[in-house]
Amino acid sequence: MQARDVMVSPVVTVGPNATVRQVAQILMERRISAVPVVDADNKVLGIVSEGDLIHRAESGTERSPSWWLRLLTSDAESAADYVKSHAVKVQDIMTRDVATAAPEMPLAELAMLLEERQIKRVPIVNKEGQIVGIVSRANLLQAIASARPKLDISLPDSAIRKRFFEELRKQPWSHTFNVNATVQGGVIDIWGFAPSRAERTAIRIAAEAIPGVVTVNDHLLETPVFVY
């Protein structure tokens, strides 16, 4: 699946001259957690999220650092905090370094982008740089929840065993020389050694995902790997 398959469109946006109060009302009324800021050509200038509105003078939640913390805070940092808590227009508080993605970006790459940038949403822009949608972490969860099971035909025992070892050989973490398996009536028994609990779990999951597997019996022992 690609970003275009899960993105929300059209996107609720605001201009750079929108007020902080207007944005707060939009977030509440539309039940969203952020809103992109765009120019007259619908190109992304920044984004404002709930986090940008936490420390505000209107609600009495602006930062009030202790005296010793003020000694460690530069004038520039203090001024930046003042802007965040007192600015009227969103252009003064919005995050300007916004990660964006193309509609064709695979969801796997999109998930990596969210994780690497430690962000919760990504505006989707076309080749002209205009916003056409937005994908949040919640949208990725929706893709998982709505996924349909693959219509694979159950495999015979010999094919299950073959598929199991083929899958393990493709994985960089796998030590297949320490693993053996027998299959009878769709029941796969796994024997041997695994160097860690994580690899042991991954081996079991690889077996459970094979069409035709009824039960997985894990007889693996956790022990360091020795290569001779």
Query: Token pair for residue 107?
Result: 């969801």
Could you tell me the CA-to-CA distances from 45 to 40, 48, 99, 125, 186 in Å, in that order? 10, 10, 11, 12, 56
pLDDT at 51: 84
Question: Is 173 a residue whose pLDDT tops 80?
Answer: yes
Adjacent-strand bridge partners of 36: 47
Whether 11 and 65 have beta carbons less than 8 Å apart is answered as: no
pLDDT digits (tens, 9 = 90+) for 20-75: 999 999 999 998 989 999 999 999 999 999 888 887 767 776 766 665 556 566 66
pLDDT of residue 151: 53
d(CA 20, CA 47): 12
Complete DSSP assignment for 122-143: EEEE-TTSBEEEEEEHHHHHHH
* Residue corresponding to tokens 């001779």: 228
Position 34, amino acid: A
* pLDDT value at residue 227: 45
Task: DSSP letter for 95, please.
Answer: B
* Average pLDDT of span 122-133: 95
Residue pointed to by tokens 């007259």: 40
Q: Which residue has the tokens 């999951």?
A: 205
pLDDT band at residue 149 using 50, 70 and 90 as cut-offs: low
| Stretch(es) of the chain classified as CATH 3.30.1340.30 | 157-222
- Helix orientation angle between 107-117 and 137-145, rounded to the nearest 10 degrees: 140
Beta-sheet strands, E only, within the chain: 34-38, 44-49, 121-125, 131-136, 179-184, 187-194, 215-218, 221-222
> What mean pLDDT comes out for the span 1-30?
92
User: Distance between CA 219 and CA 228 in Å, rounded?
Assistant: 23
CATH topology of domain 3-145: CBS-domain (3.10.580)
pLDDT of residue 228: 43
Percentage of the chain with pLDDT > 90? 61
In the chain, residues under CATH classification 3.10.580.10 are 3-145
In degrees, rounded to 5, the angle at the alpha carbon of residue 226 between the alpha carbons of residues 222 and 228 is 150
Would you say the pTM of this structure is higher than 0.75? no
Higher pLDDT among residues 13 and 141, named by residue: 13
Q: What is the mean pLDDT of the chain?
A: 87
CATH architecture of 157-222: 2-Layer Sandwich (3.30)
Q: What is the model's pLDDT at position 52?
A: 85
What residue has token string 């083929």? 166
